[in-house]
Amino acid sequence: MSEDSRLATSICGIALRNPVLAASGTFGYGVEFASQVDLDALGGLVVKGLSREPIEGNPPPRLLETGGGMINSIGLQNIGVRAFVKEKLPDLSKLRTAVFANIFGYRMEDYVEVVRVLDDHAGLAAYELNVSCPNTTHGGIFFSSDPALLSEVVSAVKRVARRPVVVKLSPNVSAIEPLAQAAESSGADAISLVNTFVALAIDPHTRRARIGAGFGGLSGPAIKPIALRLVCQAARAVKIPVIGLGGIANGEDAAEFLIAGASAVEVGTATFWDPASPARVAAELGAFLRSEGLGNVRDLVGTLHL
């Protein structure tokens, strides 16, 4: 059996060459990496977050390397959904790999409008909702931390979306299960987790934050054990598929997330030092399957003995 056939899988009815996707926010709009990576070798790619209007992002510095990870505070900088469909989507639509559009907003109407715009254009497989934003119409309560608010935005998007909807959950909550279940009960086709952990780095000499906006989001290998725990808990709380991410840097990392209950994974921070890391991780995962004598990657999913 070939490596490709071992890795072939699907999620939300979307066929994937392999279960390794490039994560949102770390792979640009995908097309920027075409000269460095065979984009069709990826299981899929998730474009950086798209908003109703362009956003300039946070003041620099925006990135900081930490022990075992990275803090970022990009501020969801993007060109806006209308510029995306005009400037980026035509090239993306030529790919054979599955393209997921990550979307976000500060009101439910923002999410709905972005989906309405994207629904009118070919070239996308699904939407990934970034719910780690404060709802400005509800006093700044984060969509990701309130099950009722999360249900409202997921339901609103599902009423208009013509494609599957994946809800990307934040780890910055006291319990992940109620949020995962709220997404499922509101019609989400899958969930993905985790987003970054709120973090702070300080320069002891200046006594100032090392990130321009103050707090940032911690990602990378340092968060993997916590991300694995949250993925396991979420996968056991819902029946819809789970996409796991958080510190995946090699094939065995990916296997661990699948064993914890994920049906697919996303690779993010690793692309900063190895732009081809999603394809490499997939190849290493294939080698792991061969070494374990497994016929298909689905044989790993949810096999954790706990």
Sign for the CA dihedral angle at 22, 27, 28, 30 comes to negative
Query: What number of other Cβ atoms are within 10 A of residue 62's Cβ?
Result: 17
Residue 265 β-bridge partners: 20, 244
Strands (E), the chain: 9-11, 14-16, 20-22, 44-50, 63-66, 69-72, 98-103, 126-130, 134-135, 141-142, 165-168, 190-193, 197-199, 202-203, 208-209, 216-219, 242-245, 264-267
Antiparallel, parallel or unpaired: β 208-209 and 202-203: antiparallel
Query: What number of other Cβ atoms are within 10 A of residue 267's Cβ?
Result: 28
Residue 165 β-bridge partners: 127
Residue 100 β-bridge partners: 46, 126
Antiparallel, parallel or unpaired: β 216-219 and 69-72: antiparallel
* Residue 232 and residue 199 in contact, taking contact as beta carbons nearer than 8 Å: no
Catalytic residue status for 232: no
Q: Which of 305, 295, 248, 274 is nearest to 20 (CA)?
A: 248
Question: Out of 45, 74, 101, 133, which one is annotated catalytic?
Answer: 133
Enzyme catalytic residues: 133
